[in-house]
Amino acid sequence: MGPSGAGKTTLLNILAGYLTRGAKGEIAVNGVCACASQSTGRGGARYIRQHDDLRAHLTVYEAMSLAAALKLADFTSQERKEKTLCRDLSGGQRRRLAVALELLSDPSLMFLDEPTTGLDSSASASLISLLNNLARGGRTLVATIHQPSALLFEKIDSVYALADGRTLYNGPREYLIPALSSAGLRYNDRTEIQTTPDELETAEEQHKTHVQTFWTPAADGVGNEAGSVLGNYVYLYGSMLLVVYTGKMSVTLSSGSVLGNYVYLYGSMLLVVYTGKMSMTLSFPMEMDILRGEYFNRWYNLGPYIFSILAVELPFQVISCVSYVVLSYWLTDNPLEPTRATLFLATVVATSMCAQAWGYFIGSTTPT
């Protein structure tokens, strides 16, 4: 434990083997020198980071089932299914789910980076009670914590206190305060009560009056414009359809249409490249944090992960390319020759896949 910037997360990253660049020394577990990141299989170490990188669109049941399917060979389905999406969980529920996902591997050693950050007192007490029960069951839990309450502090067995990257104390929890007191550090137990000045109350009343005065005419103006918005939308939409139909390029096989063919081909490739690249460039960085955590905790290897992503993305890429080619081919009046259309479609699909690979590369190597 220690204040912000003391080095708690950095120390835990090194102990767990998550970050080793620039670090020197040895890690001993039960007297045996072995890096936590090198332990394999069930019973090894697992690291639960401060930010719960859960797949937001999975339910609790689906998240647990996915983890169990990847970690447990003898996993069988449960009859009762939780339908709550991970994105709808509270902070305490997300932390408990993150712990549960790693407990499926039955680890003997667990690292947790500030598990109570962002939780209220009730959720923190519930989570610490869960961790305390796990520790009493024979597991070793190493956690960083910023400023625990007295109730939470009583459930800690051993404390390693840091400040500016240096050790303040290392030993049993009950000896921490006497040790700091002997070093001349004192705790100021006075309670500060801050009252609200009259000026702030007056300013709040003036603000409410100003907002009410502004809102009344603004709301009336919005109501008067509501009827014209729908009419403008219908008119503009119809105009766009008319422009699309009357503005066909009429690309043919004549010599005068060479430039039109070039513009169509160049524009198509440009559209496909940027569409395929940008979708992956924007979406894959959000997947990277989840990938790092799951891969570090040995849920799967990178090979199956990459192939599964390609298997999911390929149908969408093909459907998008086919839709574009069918519409654009008709709008440009290209000759309806099977060989010509098939080769053009294959070129568009291949270009889209190359652009997608480019997007994966940019998304995985560019810091977010």
For 81, the token pair is 């299914």
Give the C-alpha separation, 99 to 67, whole Å.
12
Domain boundaries, the chain: 8-54+89-182, 218-247, 255-365
Residue 331 has pLDDT above 70, yes or no: yes
Q: How confident is the model at residue 65 (pLDDT cuts 50, 70, 90)?
A: confident
Name the residue with higher pLDDT: 20 or 10: 10
CA distance linking residue 98 with residue 92, whole number of Å: 10
Q: Tens of pLDDT along 104-130?
A: 888 888 888 888 877 777 778 888 888
pTM over 0.75: no
348, two tokens: 């568009």
Measure Cα distances from 360 to 152, 296, 365 in Å: 43, 20, 8
The stretch 312-337 carries a mean pLDDT of 84
Predicted pLDDT of residue 73? 55
* CATH architecture assignment, domain 8-54+89-182: 3-Layer(aba) Sandwich (3.40)
* pLDDT reported for residue 84: 65
Residues whose CB is less than 8 angstroms from the CB of residue 157 and which lie 6 or more positions away in sequence, other chains included: 135, 172, 173
One-letter amino acid of 106: D
What are the tokens at 211?
């907002």
Query: What confidence tens digit (pLDDT) does each residue in 232-287 have?
Result: 777 776 776 665 555 554 555 555 566 777 788 888 888 888 888 888 888 787 78
Q: Given this model, what pLDDT does residue 49 score?
A: 76
Instruction: Name the CA radius of gyration of the chain, rounded.
Output: 30
